Structure 1
Amino acid sequence: MNVVLGVSGGIAAYKACELLRRFSESGHDVRVVPTASALHFVGAATWSALSGKPVATEVWEGVHEVPHVRIGQHADLLVIAPATADIMAKAAHGIADDLLTNTLLTARCPVVFAPAMHTEMWEHPATQENVATLRRRGAVVIEPAVGRLTGVDTGKGRFPDPDAIFELCRRVLTRGADAGQADLAGRHLVVSAGGTREPLDPVRFLGNLSTGRQGYALAAVAAARGARVTLVAANTDLPDPAGVDLVRVGTAAELREAVLAAAADADAVVMAAAVADFRPAHYKHVKIKKVEGESPAPVELVRNPDVLAEISQQRQAPGQVVVGFAAETDDVLANGRAKLARKGCDLLVVNEVGRGRAFGSADNEAVILSRDGSETAVPFGPKAALADLLWDLVAERLR
């Protein structure tokens, strides 16, 4: 695949060297097109040595090859990393004053922007409008990470992990330019993942075996298809997917609060998290001790709020699509159909768990039940494949 790596003028330009290495080692043919400002951070010699190709910033270099047209025309993927507020503003308004911005206008392949800037610049209304414009046109603009910025500042605007950006780009390339890879552009999708924990005392809790891998796959695939994604993660220990807003929670009550807040303007909500049905009625503020010769006191349980049913019955946005998950150990389809009717969601992903199935595994097998009575079988395979198929069904309903 021919990959064009555009580098704009931010301190995170040095991190793009690692992204270039990942593409090259994966067998892609990479052409680096930096801006003049980017060369203040990483020199042309470095980019040329790492890519094995000449590096230019202006349309007047190598004019006989018409680089301002040819580079974009021959690209299978165009990645701008880091993407500054300046380069996104130029892309949104069609300004073409150097080789990279000309390449952006001539490219007909998927385009991915990996923003990096100070929090105030990212949150400025002008930047947000430009991002919305790019997403509406089908570009994938991933959300910047939260963390240490230049100097002592901390906040949203940090360059995402290069490995995570590469994985997102790999998903974009897998779908291809004609496969509707940005069919979720302009959409806000909320995904819950992991398993909630209900504390008994400071050291014990009621929980489950969910690791969050399916929810994380859903979030990563949605971001690669152009969506703005909010991932509500309960007790997970997985690398943050590039391009998503991550909200960490612990209990079912915390998950409910976070999901309801994010769902206010969401086009779709996918409840992939394993939410505890019950919690202890009484929390002990000190560790529960065993007493020799005495039986342990019974643990009284109370029901947790049913988040999926609440969201299904009280849709916060017009046309909102709600998807649930059902982890079953027996009578899988019968229990799934009953749950679909009871919850009132649009789609329900039903899978068998236990004995090494689903929880903690890289693969999954499921049946997606629809409120209209249709059923879609998902054969055993990577959880990202299930995510792609589920988003196909969601996209149909959003259209």
Structure 2
Amino acid sequence: MLGIVRRRIARGGVNASIVEQSLQKIRNQSLIYASRSYSSASKEMTVRDALNSALDEEMSADPKVFVMGEEVGEYQGAYKITKGLLDKYGPERVVDTPITEAGFAGIGVGAAYHGLRPVVEFMTFNFSMQAIDHIINSAAKSNYMSAGQISVPIVFRGPNGAAAGVGAQHSQCYAAWFGACPGLKVLAPYSSEDARGLLKAAIRDPDPVVFLENELLYGESFPVSAEVLDSSFCLPIGKAKIEREGKDVTITAFSKMVGYALKAAEILAKEGISAEVINLRSIRPLDRSTINASVRKTNRLVTVEEGFPQHGVGAEICASVVEESFEYLDAPVERIAGADVPMPYAANLERMAVPQIEDIVRAAKRACYRSVPLAATA
């Protein structure tokens, strides 16, 4: 555009000084707009704020959405995920409950039967065991048993998996537990983008969703774009994200383990191993196509989870790859999981029971034949 204007000046009939002043204003304005765009794209947001903003926006957009759980109102949530919502929406839509998970989970399912969209918070998913009958037998099965006449648009959310020094009863990962149940959708966010986009998708979904957060991620900050901050932003359920592309080995992970996998990939890159890291995001439905497409490219697979190894998410991924991509594998699949024991309380033993970055690095090296296989050292 500026070139066209200058050519017209050269032909005559236009005051050059006036036009040059105007062009300078355009340049200055362009710089301002460019800096604004860059600034909005580089904003950081914690996972806690991402979840809080998603709840706020969905409650504002749909009066049928409400939250309930222990200390979600007056105390603003055990982890402050519901901060400010009681003041904004009142006690009819931000409901403090007694310490009775079976009771308020059942009330939530009943409300969903009648067209409301409850978001039920468990202070930790370990306490969801008190309500598992309502989750598995009431919420998950009703649509099927009613021949599609009853929808149950409910979200069960809260922290899942190991935290820090909270003992065996408060440290379990329930991804595989709920992932085995037909009728449920199971999501596990890693970043702030995941948290916002997936929670919005869960609240809008017509089916029951188990939303597995991680206590240790709440305070973590991640860059978010203007698109992610838009109130219309929503991520598809059942679609994984390739966080880092690679060609030598595929690493799958979810929740906090995605961060570990990415750090392991950085270490591997320094040793000449190009790792592709897949953030599963969705446990059920599982994005088998993305996983298998990656394995067919890299020919190697490492699965990472902090839950128990037997009948775990990694076992299901391995089964899928064996069924669909066995002929592409150049090495045995490697599974990284938590120790097959109740979580220890002592900090040094707890670290041994949860997968670490070095475990992922060693597994990837074994898959790429860069280290001695475990069988050879037994």
TM above 0.5, yes or no, is no
The structure with more helix, counted as a fraction of residues: 2
Q: TM-score, normalised by structure 2?
A: 0.37
Q: TM-score, normalised by structure 1?
A: 0.35
